[in-house]
Chains A and B, each alone.
Chain A
């Protein structure tokens, strides 16, 4: 059956006189009501179908396929994007086939969910529209970095896109060079190489932070502590190596899970050393270090 499409103009409720005198010749006032309601229904269907990209000129099979997707809440788009995406009424999944920059719809529907998924190892950024945030930390964007990274966002109807699903995209930094400690007895950045995002600010969000590295402390005065820092402020557990009569090389592991970063900041490895004879990562061949930030909200 050929689908019924509403007229392009707005639908106006018939007047009382039209209802009794007959807009459609031969019909009773009840039928007039039904005409109006039927037009209203087809108009709404028209809006729904047009919003999800169903064209009146497409074939019945294409329309049926789209309509089924609409009912299943599972529209899927696969492409590389740059710009503001449509505001689909149904749930939608965007598959990134290349690095993309996406701006969320300006006027989404309350409860609308959109999933973004990376099909390759490239960075794509999803940005909120004006007046919107992603999550409750004030973040205005969410990035995916690697293939199969994904995030599912749900609009609350006011100003927040809530993260309701993600694998937790990871940013990381490796330390491959030796860092000699300075004996400053104050928290100091290990090296630029042990800073997330190349030493630039990390955007607000909720993160799992974790750092592994190897350290070497001289004897007797060799207290050496390491931690993950927000700038130079320790935010993770602090692990210390304090040998007494021998020199010791130890692996360190620091972590803090579910860390709420409410203001953009440099996230980095930091150390505190009593002696300039302490080292972070003694041997570049046999010991490495890594700091990771997993975005979980």
Chain B
């Protein structure tokens, strides 16, 4: 059976006489009422379904399935590669491999899109021209590991707000030793202790955290640590000042909800007043890690 679609013209209620005298020749008055109501229903359904991408040429079963999904507001699509999102309803994209996604150019206010990584591959969701993700000016949001996800909602003007995420994580490990330089200034520990291999981290809001390895300070020496944007400390400092004898200590520094408004290198920093100070005492028994969790 072919589906019934409303006419393009605006429907108006037939005048009372037509309902009794025969709006459609040969029909009863009851059928006239049906005519009027059905045209209204099909017209509304037509508008909704066409907006949701349902073709008049689809089978009735396909149309019903799509209609139920429309009620659910939850189309779910598995895809990968280069994806240009055209969905106009709320949609979840399961990214089955590394993907580069561009958000819709003209989304509806309130539209929600969820992106979920199925594998350990990096995918990037990018805003369209004139849009940002969040309020700090970010143009993209990455997923790094399987089960990472982010849900975005469009505000109707220019911002995709992050309204749900597990906080995709990027981290690095430090396994080498470093002799300090006695510069008495904040200095990068090593490139190996910088996120994103020492390249800029994209704009966004992050939970930053660093665990330091065992460290060794010479007698009468000061050794401090911090997380830095470039060589500017952004976390609380962790340091030690030894007396007449050398010693070692472990350090943990963190800053949560840090708004990175300009792309920059996130890395571990140290401050040392003695060349006998070491960062990473023993690579076999102590390693460190710096991590950034994207939360907005």
Contacts and interface: CB of A to CB of B under 8 A. Distances in A.
Interface in A210-251: 223, 225, 236-246, 248, 250-251
Contact of B64 (A30, A44, A256): A44
B287 interface: yes
A269 to B, nearest CB: 14
B38 A240 contact: no
Given A31-B31, A136-B147, A156-B94, A242 B4 contact: no
B286 to A, nearest CB: 4
A206 interface: yes
Secondary structure of the B side of the interface?
mixed
B89 to A, nearest CB: 10
> Looking at chain A, what size class is its interface with the partner chain?
35 or more
A237 B287 contact: yes
B289 A237 contact: yes
A111 B75 contact: yes
A142 to B, nearest CB: 12
B134 to A, nearest CB: 17
A39 B293 CA distance: 53
Contacts of B209: 255, 257
Contacts of B28: 26-27
Interface stretch (B13-21, B178-186, B210-218): B210-218
Contacts, number: 198
Interface residues of B, number: 65
A162 B94 contact: yes
Secondary structure of the A side of the interface?
mixed
Given A241-B214, A244-B246, A112 B285 contact: no
A137 B120 CA distance: 11
Contacts of A241: 214, 248-250
Contact of A70 (B71, B78, B147, B213): B71
Instruction: List 4 tightest A-B contacts by C-beta distance, closest first.
Output: A111-B74, A297-B147, A240-B286, A240-B214
Given A162-B116, A164-B149, A258-B171, 19 more contacts: A26-B27, A27-B31, A31-B24, A34-B34, A44-B64, A89-B68, A91-B72, A111-B76, A135-B146, A154-B92, A162-B147, A163-B166, A164-B164, A206-B146, A242-B248, A242-B281, A253-B211, A257-B171, A257-B293
16 contacts: A28-B26, A31-B31, A33-B4, A90-B71, A109-B72, A110-B76, A111-B75, A136-B147, A239-B212, A240-B250, A241-B214, A248-B247, A248-B248, A253-B250, A257-B169, A257-B209
